[in-house]
Chains A and B, each alone.
Chain A
């Protein structure tokens, strides 16, 4: 019993938050907890979850790590992914997945080099990188994306059982696999935590912290690349900069999920729960017919409140 309590502690705010939000949603707009709505909430949550997994890896890597290019990478792969066409539709779809992962990984590598080798502050580096990536997307598509999403790609939102569709099911399995076998059990995962927690001590233990952190940016970019493909599959059409809001949402999701922005600590599952909270908030605000600006305002205020509780510097006097 004690153990269970301890295990759930960092997730508790997110779990309680989502339950309250679901009840609130049902009260404010009837049909909020309908099968249909739950199904679509799960869909969008799973895409944001994927983005938050990438963001979490970068934040865990420490050194004020933050990836502001997640949204830009997603937008890019959402545009480029569906363009891939070789032979049959199924073969194309099979190629799209590694291709988008590779695109994201390349951007992540550039971020990692900028941050760890050239010593540019992560925020500035990844912000500028997001500008470059967005510019690159415009360059390639000539500003007029004409993306046709193949039926295979669209099929990720096919219903499986009840409200569960293919994508959320895959993401849940993937999430558990990543959490357990990548973050917890793998040698790399352990090193990521150590390097992120205390870079100095990790170096003294013989861990190549710089490499570990660069790999975290590559992983973050790769996962964001995949998330972009999933997004376009769900949306059915692609637009310029369609995923840019995911940058901020992914950071907020990770923070709500109990991950400290100082690094060395955190989970992917927490990011998933944080994503659920954020999607529920957006959904409720949408159900209330709230304007886009007001939604962004409320999200910002929530993030600000979390920061003021979660990440204050200690006092000057001891």
Chain B
């Protein structure tokens, strides 16, 4: 009983439930759930999930990062350009990943050490990163060797699909961090900066770390999206920043910090992705789709914020308790 209750009150539970329900709906619409559908779904949306993981980490410490989409674009452009220049795919991927981490470290430096507002900082750096991507590759084009796509479609040890492995890398890194004392410190920092400082927590280092981690997440997202498309586009990640924030909010991560976990980001992103794929498969014209997607984002964020409103929750609780008596 208490275990059931624990799961029900888990902050990521509503988004998990929503994801499963709409996965079912999608199955009903397209005629049954198949493993192959699930695999292609994950392959397409692993990038969005990775970015959501990254942004969730920054939101947990009461920050945010809207430059991740630009980092994804940059990674894609770097991989394509290096491949065209004759680099091997693994080398290109590793260099691109390094760029992404560097971008995250730049964010972390300006936010943690220079103490500039995370929102404005990442807003400015997002134009910088997007600018670099556009500078390197002004027009969509270029191709990556299809061995990259084959690798992405392969299974680790014959069972684990590569996109899942990519997500798992981030999850494992994050779980390790959560097991360190820093994990507790992260949540404390998200709740109150001043109290954290008074409790001897290294605020600067933690902020630097989460943005670097977010950079890593965007880097892996960039690898996923590049492997999935095998083509280059300087604006491929443009819409991802905002969608990932919406995903985190839907996943029960509080924009005020300190509440939620990366599973919320993962399931929030998965839910948004499945919803979008339903909208796509529901035979709406493509013009309606982007409008509906915008509305879904808006509704999701607004509903999540209203739902996490404490005074409202208390009101509902009181009504509920009154009913029991």
Contact = CB atoms under 8 A, between A and B. Distances in A.
**A and B, direct touch (CB closer than 8 Å):** yes
Interface of A: 64, 66, 114, 118-121, 123-125, 127-129, 131-136, 138-139, 141-143, 248, 251, 261, 291-301, 303-304, 307-308, 311-316
A307 B298 contact: no
B127 A124 contact: no
Contacts of B124: 300, 303-304, 307
Contact of A311 (B120, B133, B297): B120
Nearest to B135: A293
Contacts of B132: 293, 297
B298 A128 contact: yes
Contacts of B246: 124, 128
Contact of B116 (A128, A295, A312): A312
Identify whether the interface residues of B are mostly helix, strand, loop, or mixed: helix
A142 B287 contact: yes
A301 B119 CA distance: 15
B127 A312 contact: no
Contacts of A121: 255
Contact of A292 (B138, B286, B293): B138
Contacts of A296: 127-128, 130-131, 134-135
B234 interface: yes
A168 to B, nearest CB: 27
Contacts of B16: none
Contacts of A141: 287
B197 interface: yes
Classify the secondary structure of A's interface with B: helix
Interface string B284-316: 011111111111011001100110010000000
B117 interface: yes
Given A124-B245, A293-B133, A293-B234, A261 B120 contact: yes
A297 B305 contact: no
Nearest to B286: A143
Contacts of A314: 115
A291 to B, nearest CB: 5
B212 interface: no
B43 interface: no
Nearest to A248: B127
Contacts of B131: 293-300
A21 B292 CA distance: 44
B287 A303 contact: no
Interface residues of B, number: 54
A291 B133 CA distance: 11
A135 B293 contact: yes
A128 B294 CA distance: 7
B57 interface: no
A132 B128 CA distance: 25
A127 B302 CA distance: 13
Given A293-B131, A293-B135, 12 more contacts: A118-B302, A123-B123, A131-B297, A138-B291, A293-B130, A293-B132, A296-B134, A297-B135, A300-B128, A304-B121, A311-B120, A313-B117
A312 B132 CA distance: 25
B194 interface: yes
Contact of A299 (B121, B127, B135, B286): B127
Contacts of A123: 64, 66, 119, 123
A307 B123 CA distance: 11
Nearest to B136: A293
Contacts of B286: 143
A69 to B, nearest CB: 11
A313 B119 CA distance: 13
Nearest to A143: B287
A16 B21 CA distance: 60
A307 B127 CA distance: 14
B114 interface: yes
B166 interface: no
Contact of A291 (B128, B130, B135, B295): B135
Contacts of A118: 302, 305-306
Contacts of A298: 131
Nearest to B302: A118
A124 B298 CA distance: 10
A136 B128 CA distance: 28
